[in-house]
Structure 1
Amino acid sequence: MRRQQRVNNPWAAVGSMPALTLCLLAAGSMGGCMLGPDYQPPAAPVEHEWIYQGSERINTSQAVDPLWWEDAFSDPVLNELLAATLEQNLTLGSAALRTVQAQQQLAIAIGNQFPQQQHLSGSASRSKESEVIFEEYAVAFNLSWELDMWGSFRREVETASALFEASVADYDGVLVSVLAQVAQTYILIRTTQARLQVARRNIELQQQSRDIARAKFEAGEVSALDLEQAETLLNNTRASVPDLEITLQQLRNALAVLLGMPPHDLGYMLGGVGDIPRAPASIAVGMPQDLLRQRPDVRALERRLAAQSAQIGVAQAELYPAFSIGGAIGSEAMQAGNLFEGESETWNLFGAFEWNLFNYGRLRSNVRLQDARFQQLLEDYRQIVLEAQADAENAIVAYLKSHQQLLLLRRAAEASQRAVELSTAQYTNGLIPFNTVISTLTADAQQQDLLAQSRGAVAVNLVQVFRALGGGWQVRDSQLPADLVPGPVQEEMRERSKYWRKVLQ
């Protein structure tokens, strides 16, 4: 007959547990070892200076201003639009919620390091057998803990932490992109307004030329051909106005969406016709090495590389046995009133291991798989560093060359205006045919429109420089993920689930 040991305090029986279980508990509490490589940020080829380093229009001694739009354009309307974008843009809000999701994934990974099962259970039953009624009542608390002997859970925390940081970098990338889109859309609106002004001025000039041709025709000095040519040019120019008005309204609609609003009249925000924002004499661009910490897409991929490095250790841990400890404490009785009294106490303690020995190479293949994924991300990282440098160089050269183009087009536009004045005067005095007037009016309309477009292109290209350099994300000012979620969205989430109340405050 097996003798039973009665223990009033069940947990005092830990002293009788096998030595192996005690060792496992100690090893688990101390963290065990860590399998897999310890991540080191990779080196990437970066040039030491820009191709156009010597240009007087770029300043490499200063980093990009986080509020580049204020420093570059000093446009109050643009400043207000960008401030509204930070509060209302839905794409930005979606990116903020992805950071909150990644934060909760990190919290789950951290929680998995502790006892994975902690169950409170209870039961009550009543049965009849051989005219005898049996009752049984039970309450128990069960605990099971897989120890992190090989660092698998800690590597999962590393993965989740790196992916959380990657999600924040992704948010920064969306922020940089959205700010640039709003700025460029606003500049295109002002550019289109300027082109409309040019078209209407040209209509006035062509009306004057038509009136001169009509007067000369009525006086019998010229044939009807001059008048018909004047009417053709005038109406073609008038026809360009609706096309520009379509473009203007479409840009306003795009701006409304970027502001998180349905398309509507934005006159109260944009005001009347405004000037195209002007670029400063010089802009701060920093050095190419700054791209590695400045560009959100580079930072995001580097963090995903770190996350994948940790997954190699997780895969290697599968090659070794998993050790667990646990136990249960409770009470069983034939009557509910006898629970937690005397002989009703129950408990058990255990230590166990599982080792997947015969896996036909699957576990080692998984290690190789994770390592290959790491190497792929490493190559992707090196590639994106190269692309980031090319992106920045392309934006800088476009900005610098658009300045040169603007200077030449301004000279051409001034010359075309003088040509219109001269040809009109000479035609009025009968010195030249009307074809010359038509040619100068047509050329002037094209040159003035090209000048307006070029002024806008300089500003748009400047925005692209700041976008390529990753400027603007610092405006979030180290806010926590929950703080990035707009206030109304936080309130909506708190109303739907009480579990957000301590997270979204």
Structure 2
Amino acid sequence: MKRRTLHNSSYISSISQRLALGIIYLFIGSGCMLGPDYVPPPVTIEDSWVYQNDKRLDILEAVNPFWWQSAFSDPVLDELVAQAIENNLELRSAALRALQAQQLLAIAIGDQYPQIQQIEGLVDRSKYVRSGITGNLQSEYYLNFNLTWELDMWGQLRRLVNSAAADFEASMAEYDGLLISIIAQVAQTYINIRTVKRRIEVARENIRIQREGLRIAEVKFQAGEVSALDAEQAQTLLSNTEATVPGLEIILQQLKNTLAILLGMPPHSLNDILSVSPTVPHVPAITAIGMPQDLLRQRPDIRQAERLLAAQGELIGVARAELYPNFSIGGLIGAIDIRGGQLNGSSDAWDIFLEFDWNIFNYGRLRNNVRLQDATFQQLVSDYQQVVLQAQVDVENAIVAYLKSQEQQVFYETAAQASRESVDLSFTQYIGGEIEFNTVITTLVSNLNQQDILVVAQGAVATSLVQVYLSLGGGWQINDGLMPLELLPEETIEDMLRRTHYWDKLLD
């Protein structure tokens, strides 16, 4: 236990003072840091992308942090992304987790410095009466405080600071990763909404064509040229096509609801924002993707994994420090002032001490803890290397999906154009009696499918491009350099200030 007895300064010789101060300086100056020092582990990065020679890709230019603006040039999408960054609740929660990590770092830094353990004070005024005789009025004032300082002999406290700093950086990387994920989800959901709107329009265009087919079949039936079977077949096809519209409207509303969650607002609030034309966004002719080596600094999940690894690496040194004695210095400083009565005057007193504790009988447990921290570190090495490997696979998958979906779109455009022409030809030949109505039905069904497939393919190209940017880790740079409190909306900060004013200094 720490000594708390006060000694009058007159009893402390100058020799004792010099000896105590010499011991203090000796221990402060001789501190070291037990290792190992963290070094990022090697990872395998490919030299080039598989499809980097494709003329639609630019490997020399870095990814634009505002890629959704340059790729789609859509003011509505820009507004949706801005609202998501401001109001998304998952993103706000991640910023608050980063803020918590920042405060844990501040606490770890503060633990390196002297701590005032206790402040004691007394104010007393008294008068005694004995056998009818009143004594003098006596006043007593007493104040002292107890200060201790844990000496960082083996670098344990510095390691804890380094670990907390790495944890804080990992939490910021987690926020960045969620940020680009939210932006990508908003972009993909918005593209899907426009795609479904276009599919509804295509369905209605086919309904119009099929109604014309039904009208022609009814006219020929009334003229006695065909049986009622043709009209019944035309009605069946028309009704089935009409039934697809409510199904698509269900998907459309569900996509709107998903987008509302991403924007942190009720679904009905999107009605005015999403009154856009039913067209699928076009993609740029050339897309900048950079080189594979850029992933190490671009992908937030890679940075997060590496920072978690660094934080764990510092804990090995912390565990090793527990094998050695822990030193602390401390002291008491006090003052007593008594007026009246038998004792008059004041007295100053202080006490200084050096103490240590050593868990020498727990070496088995402490060594096991060192092994535990090292095994955890090695596991995180594998996790980090896996994240880097997976990141490269994600990009390759996204690139091939983007490029090949464009090639698919070209074939579907040819098929859709041929399908539209076959409908016109079948109507002409049916009216002329050259073909049966079954052939018309076949062309109508094929046209509906081909036009819908083309729209889906167009949407797939746009969403695949978003996936490319997501896999490359683009977008988090828009908030680079901001602290966690700066990432929170004003109303959240005001709520926190109403609970406690201690956030004021961070806001200065």
- TM-score w.r.t. length of structure 1: 0.93
Secondary structure in 1 matching 2:419: helix
Tell me the equivalent position of 1:492: 495
Q: How does 1:24-43 map to 2 (within 5 A)?
A: 24-28=24-28, 30=29, 32-43=31-42
Match of 2:319 in 1: 315
Amino acid at match of 2:442: S
Which residue of the partner structure matches residue 293 of structure 2? Answer: 289
- Residue number in structure 1 paired with 2:9: 7
* Matched position secondary structure for 1:154: helix
Q: Which residues of 2 match residues 133-172 of structure 1 at below 5 A?
A: 138-172=142-176
Q: Distance in 2 between matches of 1:474 and 1:181?
A: 17
Tell me whether 475-484 or 268-277 shows the greater mean CA deviation: 268-277
Cα 1:13–1:49 shift into 2, 3 Å:
farther
Deviation, 1:83, is 1.5
User: Is residue 485 of structure 2 the alignment partner of residue 482 of structure 1?
Assistant: yes
After TM superposition, the structure 1 = structure 2 runs for residues 71-470 of structure 1, keeping only pairs within 5 Å, are 71-123=70-122, 138-332=142-336, 342-470=345-473
Cα 1:15/1:338, change in 2 over 3 Å: farther
Tell me how far apart the structure 2 counterparts of residues 163 and 287 of structure 1 sit (CA, whole Å): 28
Cα pair 1:24 1:147 within 8 Å, conserved: no
Distance 1:333 1:16 in 2: 26
SS in structure 1 at match of 2:331? strand
Match of 2:46 in 1: 47
Query: Aligned-pair distance for 1:274?
Result: 3.8
SS at match of 1:117: strand
**Aligned AA (2:410):** L
Alpha-carbon distance in structure 1 between the residues aligned to 2:35 and 2:480: 35
Cα 1:47–1:113 shift into 2, 3 Å: same
Q: Evaluate the alpha carbon distance shift between residue 231 and residue 265 of structure 1 in structure 2; reply closer, same or farther with a 3 A threshold.
A: farther
Q: CA, structure 1 residues 384+102, in 2 after alignment: closer, same or farther (shift >3 Å)?
A: same
Partner Cα distance (1:211, 1:462) in 2: 43
Q: How many angstroms apart in 2 are the aligned matches of 1:65 and 1:345?
A: 68
In structure 2, what is the Cα distance between the partners aligned to 1:387 and 1:87?
30
User: 1:438-484: CA deviations, max 9, x gaps?
Assistant: 00000000000000000000000000000000000011142122211
Task: Give SS of 1:41's match.
Answer: coil
Q: Which amino acid aligns with 1:199?
A: A
Task: State the one-letter code of the partner of 1:99.
Answer: A
Q: Give the 3 Å change call, closer, same or farther, for CA 453–345 of structure 1 in structure 2.
A: same
The alpha carbon displacement at 1:257 in A equals 1.3
Structure 1 pair 14/175, CA: closer, same or farther in 2 (3 Å)? farther
Aligned to 2:507, what secondary structure does the other structure show? coil
Task: After superposition, give the CA deviation of every residue in 1:404-439 in whole Å (9 maximum; x if it has no partner).
Answer: 110111111001111111111100111100000000
Asked if the contact 1:90–1:260 (Cα under 8 Å) also holds between the matched residues in 2, the reply is: yes
Compared with structure 1, are the counterparts of its residues 251 and 459 closer, same or farther at alpha carbon in structure 2 (3 Å cutoff)? same
SS for the counterpart of 2:494 is: helix
- Given that residues 25 and 147 in structure 1 are in contact (C-alpha distance below 8 angstroms), is that contact kept between their aligned partners in structure 2? no
Instruction: Give, in angstroms, the shift of residue 152 of structure 1.
Output: 0.4
Kindly provide the CA deviation profile for residues 259-318 of structure 1, in whole angstroms up to 9, marking residues without a partner as x.
Answer: 110111523212232421111111000011111110000000100111111101100110
Letter in 1 for 2:9: V
> Deviation of residue 346 (structure 1)?
2.7
Could you give the per-residue CA deviations for residues 169-221 of structure 1, whole angstroms, max 9, x where no partner exists?
11100110000000000000000000000000000000000000000111111
Do 1:327 and 1:348's aligned partners in 2 also have CA atoms closer than 8 Å? yes
Which residue type is aligned with residue 220 of structure 1? G
Counterpart amino acid of residue 115 in structure 1: P
Q: CA deviation at 1:38?
A: 1.1
**Paired residues of 2:43 and 2:385 also in contact (CA < 8 A):** yes
C-alpha separation between the residues in 1 aligned to 2:13 and 2:461? 80
Cα RMSD after superposing both structures = 2.5
Corresponding residue for residue 3 of structure 2: none
- Taking the aligned partners of 1:265 and 1:111, their CA distance within structure 2 comes to 47
Shift of 1:14: 7.6
| C-alpha separation in 1, matches of 2:160 and 2:405 | 50
Shift of 1:22: 2.7
Q: What is the DSSP-based 3-state SS (H/G/I as helix, E as strand, rest coil) of the residue aligned with 1:269?
A: coil
Which has the larger displacement, 185-194 or 348-357? Answer: 348-357
Other-structure match for 1:22: 22
Match of 2:55 in 1: 56
**AA matched with 1:442:** V
What is the Cα deviation at residue 123 of structure 1?
4.2
Q: Is the 8 A contact 1:31 1:151 kept in 2?
A: no
User: Alignment partner of 1:225: what SS?
Assistant: helix
Structure 2, unmatched stretches of 5+, are 1-5
Q: Is the 8 A contact 1:338 1:344 kept in 2?
A: no
Contact 1:78 1:186 (C-alpha < 8 Å) held by counterparts: yes
Indicate conservation of the 8 Å contact 1:402/1:458, yes or no. Answer: yes
**Structure 1 pair 282–13 and aligned structure 2 pair: CA distance change class (3 A):** farther
Cα separation, 1, equivalents of 2:139 and 2:358? 41
Residue 316 to residue 162, structure 1, CA distance change in 2 (3 Å):
same
Cα distance in 2 for partners of 1:154, 1:297 equals 26
Q: 1:284 to 1:26 in 2, by over 3 A?
A: same
Local SS of the residue matching 1:268: coil
The number of residues matched between the two structures is: 497
Over residues 119-145 of structure 1, what are the superposed CA-to-partner deviations in whole Å (9 max), with x where a residue is unaligned?
21124689999x999997632111011
Shift of 1:258: 0.8
| 1:59-106 Cα shifts (integer Å, max 9, x gaps) | 101111101011111111111111222211111111111111111111
Q: Distance in 1 between matches of 2:419 and 2:447?
A: 5
C-alpha separation in 2, matches of 1:192 and 1:415: 23
Q: 1:400 to 1:13 in 2, by over 3 A?
A: farther
Higher mean alpha-carbon deviation, 471-480 vs 45-54, is at 471-480
Counterpart of 1:35 in 2: which secondary structure? coil
Counterpart Cα distance in 1 of 2:437 and 2:340: 113
For residue 365 of structure 1, report the CA deviation from its aligned partner. 0.8
What amino acid maps onto 1:45 in structure 2?
T
* CA distance in 2 between partners of 1:105 and 1:241 (Å): 54
